[in-house]
Amino acid sequence: MKKLAMIMAIGIAAISLAAGTCFAEKIVVAGSTTVLPIAQKTAEVFMDENSGVDISVRGGGSSVGITALIDGNCDIADSSRPIKDVEIQKSASNGRDPVAHIVALDGIAVVVNKSNPVSRLSKKQVRDIYMGKISDWAQVGGKPGKIVVVSRDTASGTFEAFGELIMNKEKVLPSALMQASNQAVGQIIGQTPSGIGYVGLGFMSGELKAVEIDGVMPSKETVLSGKYPVSRPLFMYTNGKPQGVLKEYLDFIKSKKGQELVETQGYVGLK
């Protein structure tokens, strides 16, 4: 019987512990891996400043986040694309009402290996490369060699933005290497002298060289001024108008301090 008493004691302790955390205000954030660093950083700082708030942040992808929001499994859905019609219908039938909040801007840099002499391309050249019409670097003023086209997966928000802004919805050639993350694209371009890819500005590294598009270099300034043609807003979705601590957190992200944190993560803050 001693054992039983012990098990019961542990059980009671566990329950009271769980109950203790219930008193803290809890926010669950899930979704886009592109928005993830923003959510993580702002959540950390926000929790430091407001004890008693517990923010848990998860990735998963834009659709995972929005699905979780529709199902009531998260309070904020991170998304690197606007919500889709299918998802709006689904929300309506679940009695949910997703509201969009733009939290940052992101430039998508077209990148090549740092040893590649090509430093500028036109939007049309990039499109032709990704459609397979241009297949050799010599055709765009580089060293002769087959172009290795690297793209994000067709389902990713980054791909979607790229598809709209550069490809005009044309199909990417089927032999393109489709990669699951910005890091993977960066890794491949870093070790492939004849590669071309695209990554969010936050994922630029020393091994990569960003290319001027239509004569504009991707940077914070050119994205903010709208001169750089390949940029997009990043979203957080809430169910209905946010209230209470949820509102405080979103206001914090949009505040001057929050936007500074956004920039430390390599994204472009809203003005």
User: Applying CB under 8 A, which residues contact other proteins?
Assistant: 33, 59-64, 66-67, 70, 84, 86-87, 90, 145-148, 153-157, 159-160, 169, 171, 174-180, 184, 187-188, 191-192, 194-195
The least distance separating other proteins from the CB of residue 254, rounded to whole angstroms, comes to 25
- Name the residue nearer to other proteins (CB basis): 122 or 154: 154
Q: Which is nearer to other proteins, 141 or 145 (CB)?
A: 145
CA distances from 76 to 100, 113, 143 (A): 10, 37, 47
By beta-carbon proximity to other proteins, the closer residue of 157 and 218 is 157
Interior CA angle at 176 toward 175 and 178, to 5°?
A: 120
Our CB check for other proteins shows the closer of 13 and 92 to be 92
Q: CB nearer to other proteins: give 53 or 66.
A: 66
Residue with tokens 């209905």: 240
Q: What is the Cα–Cα distance from 269 to 271, expressed in whole angstroms?
A: 6
Tokens of 40: 């993580």
Min separation Cβ 145 and other proteins, Å: 7
- 31 phi, psi to nearest 5 deg: 140, -145
**Closest listed residue to residue 149, CA positions, set 125, 133, 166, 173:** 173
- Find where tokens 């990148």 sit: 111
> Between residues 147 and 268, which has the closer beta carbon with respect to other proteins?
147
Least separation in angstroms between residue 13's CB and other proteins is 23
| Residue 52: count of CB within 10 angstroms of its CB | 9
What is the nearest approach in angstroms of other proteins to the Cβ of residue 132? 11
The nearer residue to other proteins, 2 or 169, going by C-beta atoms, is 169
How is residue 195 written in tokens?
């590669």
Task: Say which amino acid occupies 127.
Answer: R
Torsion over CA: 113, 261, 159, 225 (sign): negative
Half-sphere exposure of 79 (CA within 13 A, CB side): 28
CA angle 153/156/159 to nearest 5° reads 75
